[in-house]
Structure 1
Amino acid sequence: MFSVFQGLLGLAVLILLAWIVSERRSLVRPRVIVAGLLCQLGLAAVLLKFPGTSQVFEPLTALVQALQQATAAGSAFVFGFIGGGAAPYTVTSPSNGFVLAFQALPLVLVISALSALLFHWRILPLVVRGFSWLLQKTFGIGGPVGFASAANVFVGMTEAPLLIRPYLSSMSRSELFAVMVTGMATIAGTVMVLYATLLEGTIPDPLRHLLIASLISAPAALLIAHVMIPNEQDPAEQQASPLPPADPIRYHGAMDAVTRGTLDGLQLWLNIIAMLLVLVALVHLVNLGLAGMPEVDGAPLTLERLLGWAMAPIVWLTGIPWAESMTAGALMGVKTVLNEFIAYLQLAGLPEGALSERSRLIMTYSLCGFSNIGSLGILIGGLGVLAPERRGEIVALGLRALYAGTLATLMTGAVAGLII
């Protein structure tokens, strides 16, 4: 019973934290808040508890396994034993034979190529338009905003605005902010499968939970975005704006889609490798500096401990027991300051008993979003190119979008804690 109260209190406090920094509090519509909460809770209840829904995700699990095997075959062929192929020598320490860059990360290339192919075959646009229609009817938002919000669940935070590029210059400040927040509060399909691979053995059916988390974060993002920057435009006028075309990304054929998707994936693969290398090095550098300070509670100060203290009350609001809030808070801090990839790596590497199974699930949902400082730079850079005439406004909204995206993913974690 207390965990239910804890989760409901968490949802109320997170919405309050958005309302405190609202630009126009008098324009906040209670209908949107209620609709957002009901949409989140309804989707989570159906997808997590409705009989038979778990069987719907079984083909996805099988698909992930097939993609892993296919990627492993490609990596072993191209990179040899460092890509997972047979070693030309006797392996004395198998646990040290895993090379992240050449065995796990190449999955990004395969997923990127497949995503482009699915767009070319108009399968993904059809799914996106269906989810867009649901968001429009629930929140009273315009077609372009609903389309971009739905697309963010499946593609990246720079690719989704690309689908509505002609509309960006004429969007209201509130609509532009909503597009930015949904980008920060969700993750792309290109990394979703990768994160599911990392979390295998840590939580059951990781791909199912990551997909559900990204789905229910979209209404949370629209709720928080509305509270922070309400739209002065009439909801009926917003809904009247048309949807973008059904095939916003055009390829010259299936092979062109695969080729361009692979090249896009290559850029993402290189970015992940570079960012991981630098961010891990910077964390280690900070910890070396903190090592010279006096110990606290018999242990040296580290960045992870500092982040744990700062974020512990916040993650407690999502339903994490207070005894585990330091560990969970450190993960949330790492995700916000660094990125969710490192946070998921740390979650997967936690020792037995550090977090309960329920807490691991809640943190899986709370970490499922691009709301971190590095991604903020990518978002501002991408949108600035797509709408150069609004670059100043995009930069000014950046930190607010990061704050809103973090609140939205925490709401998702609280909703998961209420349902699971």
Structure 2
Amino acid sequence: MDILIGLLGVIFAIAVAYLFSNQKKNINYKAIGVLLVLQVIVTLFMLKTTIGTKIIEVVSNGVSKVISYGYEGIDFVVGGLIPEGVSVFFFNVLMVIIFTSTLLSILTYIKFLPLAIKYVGGFLAKITGLSKVVTFNSVNSIFFGQSEAILAIKTHLDNMSNNKLFIISTSAMASVSASIMGAYMTMIPPKFVLVSMLLNALSGLIVASMMAPIKEEEDENINIKDISTSNSLFGAIGDGALDGGKVALIVAAQLVAFVGLMALINGIFTALINISFTEILGYIFAPIAFIMGVPWSEAITAGSIMGTKLATNEFVAMLQLQPLVPDLSAKTVAIVSSFLVSFANFSSIGIIAGSIQAVHAEKASIVAKYGLKILLAATLASVLTGTVVGIFI
């Protein structure tokens, strides 16, 4: 029964994408089928095989070990400010982003990540028949944030069709940045962070290429030099640290604003109608949570967290989920955690449009025009990822 409900969730996500397609007759069904099969293979391998679970364990432990070295730098800077045994979110979670961003910048400068992204993206293009630019961008978005992923294909923006622009914007919004991965792993089960990062690349392509179909172009060449702007190793280290610091401060500012506003809105709703805004979100998103595989007894709670993520951001929602993990079923934790690992929220529309504005004002106006549809596509991608993970729990 659980599998049937999960399949209903997959059908729901694909059906909504089809409903909103602007060129239904041009949908590449072969690509959709291949990507869905890849999702099943990846999820089965990662969650249901001894080798896959061992890989997740090794990677999770490795990331935790690497992060522990980052804490050495944090302790050097703020040591003594934090009492023994006390966890301060800004220091223990957000400042880790500075260290992981630096590592990401180093791996980018030495061309390890760009080459891996180029060839994996090329492989996806070959087996699906999709554009090399959109598959490259999809894989690139696994590691880099919304802004960086889009800037890496900036030389292609001039001749980019509206549909292709829609797909790369959706892929950027449906993904997360690897520099923030360590922070997520301190808040929700690490294995779902890792699995979701891979699945989101495929989910974004499935949904977006249905809503905005494109044809493969033979003359696309990807230049990996567009990914890194650093001109030396130490420059890359400095750039990574500064970029990580900016992200940490931006997230901190957003959390102060969004958590405070959510508390204010909840207070107003409770005073006026004796029900909080997050509870209302729970009732709205409960049916979606249920068809994703969440037990109905937990659907309202799960829906509240999912709605909070859409209205604010994933960090606020993860903070809401974190204390509830011991009391929720394993399936609910898996589905909701996987749904949260993406940038799909209202503020991301402005971030993506702003990133493109920096290099191509005309294309930025198109992104802003279709912003809500892009958000719908990215949210459906998160629904698809969460549903697929839930089927195998």
Given the two structures, how large is their TM-score scaled by the length of structure 1?
0.89
| Aligned match of 1:372 | 345
1:8-47 CA-to-partner distances (Å, cap 9, x unmatched) read: 1111111111122221222223223222211211221122
In 1, Cα distance between the equivalents of 2:123 and 2:289?
29
| Aligned match of 1:393 | 366
**1:198 Cα deviation (Å)?**
1.6
| Aligned match of 1:220 | 203
Matched, 1:329 2:303: yes
**1:245 Cα deviation (Å)?**
3.1
One-letter code of the match for 1:318?
A: M
Matched, 1:148 2:137: yes
One-letter code of the match for 1:409?
A: S
Matches within 5 A, 1:10-409: 10-82=9-81, 84=82, 87=83, 97-199=86-188, 203=189, 206=190, 208-231=191-214, 233=215, 235=216, 238-245=217-224, 248-295=227-274, 301-350=275-324, 352-353=326-327, 355-409=328-382
Q: Give the conservation status (yes or no) of the 8 Å contact 1:153–1:215.
A: yes
- Structure 1 unaligned regions, length at least 5: 296-300
Q: Give the conservation status (yes or no) of the 8 Å contact 2:293–2:331.
A: no
**1:247 Cα deviation (Å)?**
6.5
Q: Give the conservation status (yes or no) of the 8 Å contact 2:350–2:368.
A: no
Q: Give the conservation status (yes or no) of the 8 Å contact 1:128–1:150.
A: yes
Count of residue correspondences: 393
**1:362 Cα deviation (Å)?**
1.3
1:57-116 CA-to-partner distances (Å, cap 9, x unmatched) read: 33322322223322222222211233x4xx4xxx7xx5xx32211222110000111110
| Aligned match of 1:298 | none
Give the root-mean-square deviation of aligned CA atoms.
Answer: 1.7
Aligned partner of residue 369 in structure 1, secondary structure = coil
Aligned partner of residue 186 in structure 2, secondary structure = helix
In 1, Cα distance between the equivalents of 2:127 and 2:47?
21
Larger radius of gyration: 1
One-letter code of the match for 1:393?
A: I
In 1, Cα distance between the equivalents of 2:325 and 2:58?
30
Q: Give the conservation status (yes or no) of the 8 Å contact 2:142–2:201.
A: yes
In 2, Cα distance between the equivalents of 1:33 and 1:144?
17
**1:351 Cα deviation (Å)?**
6.3
Q: Which structure has greater helix proportion?
A: 2
- Structure 2 unaligned regions, length at least 5: none
Given the two structures, how large is their TM-score scaled by the length of structure 2?
0.95
In 2, Cα distance between the equivalents of 1:263 and 1:227?
38
Aligned partner of residue 50 in structure 2, secondary structure = coil
Aligned partner of residue 292 in structure 1, secondary structure = helix
| Aligned match of 2:5 | 6
Q: Give the conservation status (yes or no) of the 8 Å contact 1:209–1:365.
A: yes
In 1, Cα distance between the equivalents of 2:194 and 2:101?
17
1:229-268 CA-to-partner distances (Å, cap 9, x unmatched) read: 122x4x3xx2542222366314222111000111111111
Which moved further from structure 2: 137-146 or 335-344? 137-146
In 2, Cα distance between the equivalents of 1:351 and 1:243?
42
In 2, Cα distance between the equivalents of 1:246 and 1:417?
38
